[in-house]
Chain A
Amino acid sequence: MTERAELAASPGRETPEREIEELERRFQRTVDAEQRIEPRDWMPEAYRRTLVRQIAQHAHSEIIGMQPEGNWITRAPSLRRKAILLAKVQDEAGHGLYLYAATETLGADREDLTRRLVDGRQKYSSIFNYPTPTFADVGVIGWLVDGAAICNQVPLCRTSYGPYARAMIRICKEESFHQRQGYELLMTMMRGSAEQRAMVQDAVDRWWWPSLMMFGPPDDASTNTEQSMRWRIKRHTNDELRQKFVDMTVPQAEKLGVTLPDPQLRWNAERGHHDFGQPDWDEFWRVVKGDGPCNAQRVAHRRRAHEDGAWVREAAAAYARKRAGDAGGTGRAARTEGAA
Chain B
Amino acid sequence: MSWDNAYESLTEEHDVSGHWAFGTGFADALAGVGHDVPADVDRAELAAYCVMLGDDALVFAQRLSEWCSNAPELEEDVALANIALDLLGQARMLLTRAGEVDPTVRPAAAPEHVPDEDALAYFRDERAFRNVRMVEQEPGDFAETVARLLVFGCWRLALFERLAGSRDPVLSAIAAKGVKELAYHRDHAAQWALRLGDGTEFSRERMRAGLDRVWPFVAELFTPHPVETRLAEAGVAVDPAELRSTVDDVLDRVLVAAGLPRPETPALPAAAGLAGRHGVHTEPMGYLLAEMQHIARSHPAAVW
Contacts and interface: CB of A to CB of B under 8 A. Distances in A.
Contacts of B292: 74-75
Interface string A301-324: 110110011111111111100100
Contacts of A177: 20-21
A192 B304 CA distance: 8
A147 interface: yes
A248 interface: yes
Given A90-B68, A93-B74, A339-B257, A316 B195 contact: yes
Contacts of A176: 6-7
B90 to A, nearest CB: 11
A49 B171 CA distance: 56
A81 B302 CA distance: 13
Say whether chain B's binding surface is mostly helix, strand, loop, or mixed. helix
Nearest to B146: A312
A193 B69 contact: no
Contact of B302 (A84, A196, A311): A196
Interface string B56-86: 0010001001101111111111100110110
B200 to A, nearest CB: 5
Contacts of A167: none
Contacts of B2: 158
B11 A251 contact: yes
25 contacts: A70-B69, A74-B62, A74-B66, A75-B291, A75-B294, A79-B118, A83-B85, A87-B22, A97-B78, A135-B304, A158-B2, A175-B6, A176-B7, A180-B14, A180-B20, A181-B20, A183-B10, A195-B302, A252-B10, A308-B72, A314-B200, A316-B73, A332-B259, A336-B258, A340-B254
Nearest to B141: A308
Given A75-B291, A192-B303, A315-B195, A340 B72 contact: no
B203 A311 contact: yes
B69 A67 contact: yes
A193 B298 CA distance: 12
Interface string A39-74: 000000000000000000000000100110010011
B7 A74 contact: no
Contacts of B70: 301, 304-305, 308
A31 interface: no
Contacts of B85: 83, 86-87, 90
Given A90-B81, A314-B203, A179 B10 contact: yes
A271 interface: no
Interface of B: 1-8, 10-11, 14, 20-24, 58, 62, 65-66, 68-78, 81-82, 84-85, 88-89, 91-92, 95, 114-115, 117-118, 121-122, 141-143, 186-187, 190-191, 194-196, 198-200, 202-203, 206, 253-254, 256-259, 291-292, 294-296, 299, 301-304
A84 B65 CA distance: 12
Given A63-B69, A317-B199, A340-B187, 4 more contacts: A74-B292, A77-B295, A195-B301, A340-B190
A185 B186 CA distance: 34
B199 A316 contact: yes
Given A192-B303, A336-B258, A319 B4 contact: no
Contacts of B58: 79
A235 B1 CA distance: 9
Nearest to A84: B22
A121 interface: no
Interface string A219-259: 00000000000000001100000001100100110010000
A84 B21 contact: yes
A99 to B, nearest CB: 11
A198 to B, nearest CB: 11
Given A86-B88, A309-B72, A339-B190, A315 B200 contact: yes
Given A70-B68, A77-B122, A93-B77, A147 B7 contact: yes
B303 A86 contact: no
A18 interface: no
A255 B21 CA distance: 20
A111 B51 CA distance: 44
B198 A193 contact: no
A318 B200 contact: yes
B199 A314 contact: yes
A184 B256 CA distance: 50
B302 A86 contact: no
A220 to B, nearest CB: 21
B304 A189 contact: yes
Contact of B92 (A83, A183, A322): A83
Nearest to A306: B72
B199 A154 contact: no
Contact of B291 (A66, A74, A135): A74
Contact of B299 (A67, A79, A195, A315): A195
A332 B257 contact: yes
A141 interface: no
Given A80-B23, A332-B257, A312 B72 contact: yes
Contact of B21 (A78, A175, A181, A336): A181
A206 interface: no
Contacts of A147: 7, 10
Most buried by B among A183, A235, A309, A339: A339
Contacts of B1: 235-236
Most buried by B among A96, A248, A312, A339: A312
B302 to A, nearest CB: 5
A154 B1 CA distance: 12
Contacts of A235: 1
B301 A339 contact: no
Contact of B89 (A83, A135, A236, A314): A83
A254 B284 CA distance: 45
B255 to A, nearest CB: 9
A312 B202 CA distance: 9
A79 B199 contact: no
